[in-house]
Structure 1
């Protein structure tokens, strides 16, 4: 058991991580690759099993990973991204490493979704771009990406998907869906000739719109996990 994490909390997060992982696969935000995690405490987090996320079974246990130190055996190399973000962002409680098609398409033009509507407001004015298509398998590169992310909710890597950070694994999963929705709108506007001439949210509009009140992320979580084999009636109340 992880130090400082009760058996009940660890079991709860194991299930939430599996549900988030399957949700990413169910909604086309990952395929064979990608991973999600949830913070356990100041020094540890739980990452999903190293399998295609949509294929995770109820008995697939995640691995407890130290925020600082070598990755445990069997943990995927890019999980060091999670390490470095948790290290510098105490506000982050969940991370999704995703490969959404529309976000990737935009990134190959060195673009990320602009804040054009409500879904995009959470990433205003737009997510930062890591302009390198290579896998992130060393600590120096992971540290640089965490630094470029700064206080943002997501960072896009050119031709290599995105990393999304939320206050919880449930929020990170919801933000992952919203990021791909923002990318879909961006591509549609640009295909119609809108480009930078289209309407963008002002800083004030984006700040006012990017709220978590009113059950926004609770409803997103219910939508994303609908039909999951481990879904329970208490899921909405358990978002934290």
Structure 2
């Protein structure tokens, strides 16, 4: 995510592992390795040393969504901009954007997710979507694997930028319910291909 410009000094990725999660520590993601990963119980009442302070949002999503097996937390600038002008949700304007959900909800609270209570509220706003814009605080995406969660973060950045551009151009024409359903049904292999592309060092 660092190479893609989705995080700077802050950002983390996690994966569900039975009743625990593995999460990158509170360091630059480029320095995170398998040996630095932290393991935290999903019902933790406190975070271990060196855990990201916002690990609470990962825990809250896993507790609320048994179908989610990975979470990415990033700060794309486009999410800051879209969250500042959209009050409720961002509809998909292109097929790949539908892989984020029927719409991307916007959580109207710019505070850091540094408590279980604040994180649980954000998880409720996420609902059954696969992406969430945190007004003034970046974004969260989910997936069946860390690669899918990161691919969705890239798609969220694209979706936010397209939405902002379309608002400036005129009336927005969002995808229909049938189009969204069709794209979501096709999502798993497409996310695999996108992740394989994004993780290549040359980006080609």
Q: TM-score, normalised by structure 2?
A: 0.91
Distance 2:179 2:49 in 1: 46
- State the shift of 1:45 in Å: 0.7
Distance 2:34 2:126 in 1: 33
Cα distance change of structure 1 residues 89 and 141 upon mapping to structure 2, 3 Å threshold: same
Aligned partner (choices 136, 155, 176) of residue 202 of structure 1: 176
Alignment of 1:69-218 (within 5 A): 69=44, 70-111=46-87, 112-192=89-169, 194=170, 197-212=171-186, 215-218=189-192
Mapped contact 2:102–2:129 kept (Cα < 8 A): no
Aligned partner (choices 2, 21, 25) of residue 2 of structure 2: 25
Cα distance change of structure 1 residues 133 and 174 upon mapping to structure 2, 3 Å threshold: same
Aligned-residue Cα RMSD (Å) equals 1.8
Distance 2:188 2:75 in 1: 29
Distance 1:190 1:26 in 2: 28
Q: Kindly name which structure, 1 or 2, has the bigger radius of gyration based on alpha carbons.
A: 1
- SS of the residue corresponding to residue 77 of structure 1 reads coil
Distance 1:214 1:97 in 2: 20
Cα distance change of structure 1 residues 114 and 80 upon mapping to structure 2, 3 Å threshold: same
- SS of the residue corresponding to residue 108 of structure 1 reads helix
Q: What is the count of residue pairs matched by the alignment?
A: 200
- State the shift of 1:149 in Å: 1.1
- SS of the residue corresponding to residue 122 of structure 1 reads helix
Distance 1:143 1:58 in 2: 28
- State the shift of 1:123 in Å: 3.0
Which residue of the partner structure matches residue 220 of structure 1? 194
- State the shift of 1:59 in Å: 6.1
- State the shift of 1:49 in Å: 2.4
- State the shift of 1:110 in Å: 3.1
- State the shift of 1:58 in Å: 4.3
Unaligned runs of 5+ in 2: none
Cα distance change of structure 1 residues 59 and 142 upon mapping to structure 2, 3 Å threshold: closer
Deviations 1:22-59 (A, max 9, x none): xx111111111111101111x10100122121x22546
